[in-house]
Amino acid sequence: MQFARSAFPDGFLFGASTSSYQIEGHSFGGAGLTHWDTFAATAGNVVRAEHGAIACDHYHRYEEDLDLLAAAGFDAYRFSTSWARVLPEGRGTPNPEGLDFYDRLTDAMLERGLKPCCTLYHWELPAGLNDLGGWRNRDIAEWFADYTEIIMGRIGDRMFSVAPINEPWCVSWLAHFLGLQAPGIRDIRAAARAMHHVLLAHGRAIEVMRSLGIGNLGGVFNLEWAEPADDSDEARAAAARYDGIYNRFFLGGVFKGAYPDVVLEGLEPHLPAGWQDDFATIQAPLDWCGLNYYTRKLLTPSEGPWPGLDEVEGPLPKTQMEWEIYPEGLAKFLRRTAAEYTGDLPLYITENGMASADRVTEGAVDDPDRIAYLDAHLEEVRKAAADGVPVRGYFAWSLMDNYEWARGYDMRFGLVHVDFESLQRRPKASYHALKEALAR
Ligand code: IFM
């Protein structure tokens, strides 16, 4: 690995990310049913109908996992709390075992000198709330505010940073328009409502945390660089619609108090009544902005209803997910986000990494493609920082192989290999390379 910690500004944070349902083992510790459990149990949704019941058994092995983070020289750990572990029905009586678990986890991070960076929702909605309409129901903003108060009332005093919701595009569009994530709905009205309510819930959670005196609050957005597949005006317009739906809708809501016209053209008739009045909450001031970045997309127009676009396979090398490797997109987003949305606000890369079909050979896992991927993306971050973009940290996705949602356990994103039979952890070559680079 070419990069060295010393090439980054003083105080720049390096960390790794995970999420609760993907690693903890949801069957342990009294957690309630989530919409991911029922989505996975429905034929055709998830590879081999795999689910998060055991996952990496982080619930019992978290000390070993935190030791790996600390031994690599990471400064921070981005983890998430599970709503259904804290409140098995989504509302009502908290689960004491769930609260105790996050309490232990927090103290174990601090004991190892790791800054706890918490996300309150990384996709596992309690099934009881899904029964009530989930993200389509405006009441979710208050349900989420109540959950925020309970979990942050317990661990908020020790957090370095907190973000309410991971990747609002995935929670809303991917799950309610494309139907590729729980709850697997394909309906434009459901999608429009989920897109608005996810931002309203984000804003309510920020308000609650401010009232509890918790600081360093941010939002985490997943971004994909959208490019026209050819030089036509139609392809350019398709790319602008994709960019609007994927990137600008959520950043625009939170940082400008407005949704882009290119998205309202299709979604306005389906947004909930009075949506324009919610921006005071949605725009609750933030202390930082997190960008999750993996790839770009090439777009072409398609027949049929709005948004009338198709993705075209690009020419660049691809990861195991079939995502093109395009590090330049990360620098473009850092510059554009600062220039058009966030100004001087600190930016963090809250996720970046790649899946590869890693194998254990003679006790080791060689993953040169991941080393090259991380190196190339970190170089873009370094250049942006050197040019004055206020980027303050980088979190690799992911600390360890885990449950990759509808792709089950096949897609390996980890710096640490996990044998899903024995649950043995084995640091890959990329883990060792990062460790060396962080010491340089
Ligand atoms: O595994 C996911 C994560 O849960 C959210 N961001 C993207 C990752 C890779 O697909």
In 112-187, where does DSSP find H-type helix? 127-131, 140-155, 168-169, 175-176
DSSP conformation class of 41: T
Give CA–CA dist 78/90, Å, rounded. Answer: 23
Name, in order, each residue with C-beta under 8 angstroms of 44's C-beta and a sequence gap of 6 or more: none
The beta strands (E) that lie in 314-413 are given as 347-351, 391-397
What distance lies between CA 417 and its chain's CA centroid?
20
In 218-284, where does DSSP find H-type helix? 233-243, 249-256, 261-267, 279-282
Give CA–CA dist 389/12, Å, rounded. Answer: 13
Mutational pocket test of ligand 1: of 122, 165, 167, 411, the residue with most ligand atoms within 8 Å of the beta carbon: 167
CB atoms within 10 A of CB 142: 13
pLDDT of amino acid 206: 99
Pocket of ligand 1 contains residue 20 by CB under 6 Å: no
pLDDT of amino acid 398: 98
The beta strands (E) that lie in 242-384 are given as 288-301, 309-312, 347-351
CB atoms within 10 A of CB 4: 14
- Residue 252's φ and ψ, nearest 5 degrees, are -65, -45
pLDDT of amino acid 402: 98
Longest dimension (CA), the chain: 61
Which residue's CA is the nearest one to ligand 1's atom 9? 404
Q: Which domain holds residue 155?
A: 5-439
Rounded mean pLDDT for each run of 10 residues along the chain, 440 residues in total: 95 98 98 98 98 98 98 98 98 98 99 99 98 98 98 98 98 98 98 99 99 98 98 98 98 98 98 98 98 98 98 98 98 98 98 98 98 98 98 98 98 98 98 98
CA-based nearest residue to 117, from 189, 188, 220, 205: 220
CB atoms within 10 A of CB 424: 10
pLDDT of amino acid 120: 99
Give CA–CA dist 401/295, Å, rounded. Answer: 19
pLDDT of amino acid 28: 98
pLDDT of amino acid 112: 98
Judged by DSSP in three states, 183 sits in: coil
* CATH number of the domain where residue 364 is located: 3.20.20.80
Sign of CA dihedral 191, 138, 347, 258: positive
Pocket of ligand 1 contains residue 19 by CB under 6 Å: yes
Cα separation values, 423 from 23, 354, 377, 416, Å: 11, 21, 30, 11
Count of structural domains within the chain: 1
Catalytic residues: 167, 351
pLDDT of amino acid 342: 98
- Residue 55's φ and ψ, nearest 5 degrees, are 50, -125
Centre of ligand 1 to C-alpha 329, Å, is 17
pLDDT of amino acid 193: 98
Q: Are 265 and 306 in contact (CB under 8 A)?
A: yes
Centre of ligand 1 to C-alpha 402, Å, is 10
- Token pair listed for 28: 């342990």
Mutational pocket test of ligand 1: of 405, 411, 418, the residue with most ligand atoms within 8 Å of the beta carbon: 405
- State the DSSP H helix or E strand holding residue 312, giving kind and residue range, or none if neither: strand 309-312
Name, in order, each residue with C-beta under 8 angstroms of 321's C-beta and a sequence gap of 6 or more: 294, 354, 355, 407, 411
Ligand 1, residue 355: give the atom nearest the CA.
9
pLDDT of amino acid 9: 96
Give CA–CA dist 163/219, Å, rounded. Answer: 5
State the pTM of this model.
0.98
Centre of ligand 1 to C-alpha 404, Å, is 7
Judged by DSSP in three states, 217 sits in: strand
Q: Are 182 and 135 in contact (CB under 8 A)?
A: no
DSSP conformation class of 25: -
Centre of ligand 1 to C-alpha 292, Å, is 9
